[in-house]
Structure formats: structure tokens, C-alpha cells
């Protein structure tokens, strides 16, 4: 009976001695969070800020494209809806959040270095 009690105590001591203490046990979690932050969270928030800045500067007469691939000229703006002239006499309304960018960026020629 005493042997069982002593082996139990010895096993607990061995486990306590082998367990890393304090900050060392959280280091892998901290490293993983840092990787996620720099590879996923930070670029996504940067892209969101750029998109919001673009939407804030839109005005009538600008040629834009939507995220679904429609190219048109802005004829009307509200807080949530943009009216686009996509062909002569053809107007559609799209959500402001679905604006992909200015059409001039599509047709820019990229220079090779």
C-alpha cells in the first residue's frame, strides 16, 4: 500500500519538474498570434482602410467598376447606393460596398523593370 502511495507522489513530482513555467508555456501561442497578425489581420485592415478611402472620394462622372465586373459611370450617389450609367440610356443601381475601384486602374499599362 505504501509503495502505491510513494509511486504516486514520485509521479507528481516528476510531472511538476518537467512542466515548463510561466511565460515559456505561452510562448508558442504568442508566436502563433504574431504570425497571424502580420500575415492576415494587418493586411486585411490595411486593404479595408484603402477601400473606405476610395468610397469616400467617389464623385459623379467617375468611371468605376463593380466587384461583379460591371464598368460604368457614376450618375448618382447616396450613402448606400450608387447609380451607374452602363450604356447609353441604361442605368443600374448597385450598393456602394460593391464598388471595386476606379476603371482607370484596370487599363493602366504596367511597366516592366
Give the predicted TM-score (pTM) of the model.
0.62
**35 shares its domain with 72:** no
**67 shares its domain with 101:** yes
Name the H helices within 19-86.
Answer: 23-36, 42-56
pLDDT in the model for residue 23: 73
**28 shares its domain with 49:** yes
Burial (CB count within 10 angstroms: exposed 0-12, middle 13-18, buried 19+), residue 60: exposed
List pLDDT tens digits, range 35-87: 999 999 999 999 999 999 999 999 999 999 999 999 999 999 999 999 999 99
Total domains present in the chain: 2
Task: With respect to residue 64, please indicate whether it lies within any of the assigned structural domains.
Answer: yes
pLDDT in the model for residue 63: 94
Task: With respect to residue 16, please indicate whether it lies within any of the assigned structural domains.
Answer: no
List pLDDT tens digits, range 7-23: 665 656 555 555 556 77
3-class DSSP state of 25? helix
Which tops the pLDDT comparison, 44 or 111? 44
Task: With respect to residue 77, please indicate whether it lies within any of the assigned structural domains.
Answer: yes
Structural domain span for residue 81: 59-105
**50 shares its domain with 75:** no
Amino acid at each position: 500500500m505504501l509503495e502505491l502511495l510513494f509511486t504516486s507522489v514520485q509521479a507528481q513530482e516528476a510531472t511538476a519538474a518537467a512542466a515548463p513555467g510561466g511565460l515559456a508555456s505561452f510562448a508558442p501561442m504568442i508566436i502563433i498570434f504574431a504570425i497571424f497578425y502580420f500575415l492576415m489581420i494587418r493586411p486585411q485592415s490595411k486593404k479595408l482602410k484603402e477601400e473606405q478611402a476610395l468610397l469616400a472620394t467617389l464623385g459623379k462622372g467617375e468611371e468605376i467598376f463593380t466587384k461583379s465586373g460591371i464598368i460604368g459611370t457614376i450618375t448618382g450617389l447616396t450613402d448606400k447606393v450608387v447609380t451607374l450609367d452602363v450604356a447609353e440610356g441604361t442605368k443600374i443601381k448597385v450598393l456602394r460596398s460593391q464598388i471595386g475601384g476606379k476603371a482607370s486602374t484596370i487599363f493602366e499599362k504596367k511597366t516592366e523593370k
